[in-house]
Amino acid sequence: MFSSRLANYRDSMEIFSWRNDPITRKSFFNNNIVKRKEHEDWFNKTMKSNKSILIIHFSEKDKIGVVRFDLKNKETHVSINTNPKFRNKGFASKMLLESESYLSSNKLFPKVLVANIIKDNLSSIKVFEKAKYKLQSAEFEHFVYKKETK
């Protein structure tokens, strides 16, 4: 069974662990190891923000990943981080689409969704293309994908 909910403070340390996974770090623009204090500051700021949403996804009782939406300049920027134990199992696109549905049904944030993806992150490119995001531009080190939701 697949389910999701808004993140809460109890999710912080798992998200921190997923973020510092060596394979995960390769897909971030800042691929340095994040220190615990730095993560806690970011997580607290994100949880209090009215411009960010974190949605945790589950398979049965296992947390499989998180989708983050950030409001920036009349667009909603999207980021996915999958629990390393569930990587390459086909969950990322499902997490993305479920999160978009939540965003849309709650009329949160602008309808234009943007994903900035490092050019050699083929897994993320496939995930976003499967979710109907379209390539808008190729920047120096990344691609910009966009999708307009209902």
Closest to 133 in 3D by CA, of 147, 144, 120: 147
Count of CB atoms within 10 A of residue 119's CB?
A: 12
Count of CB atoms within 10 A of residue 130's CB?
A: 14
Domains and CATH numbers, the chain: 2-148 (3.40.630.30)
pTM, 2 dp: 0.92
- pLDDT tens across 68-98, in order? 999 988 899 999 999 999 998 889 999 999 9
Task: Indicate whether 106 pLDDT > 90.
Answer: no
Residue 62 has which token pair? 């296992």
Task: Indicate whether 11 pLDDT > 80.
Answer: yes
Strand residue runs (E) in 21-141: 52-59, 62-72, 75-82, 112-118, 134-138
**C-alpha to C-alpha distance for 31 and 54, rounded to whole angstroms:** 20
Higher-confidence residue: 111 or 94?
94
Residue 38 has which token pair? 């730095």
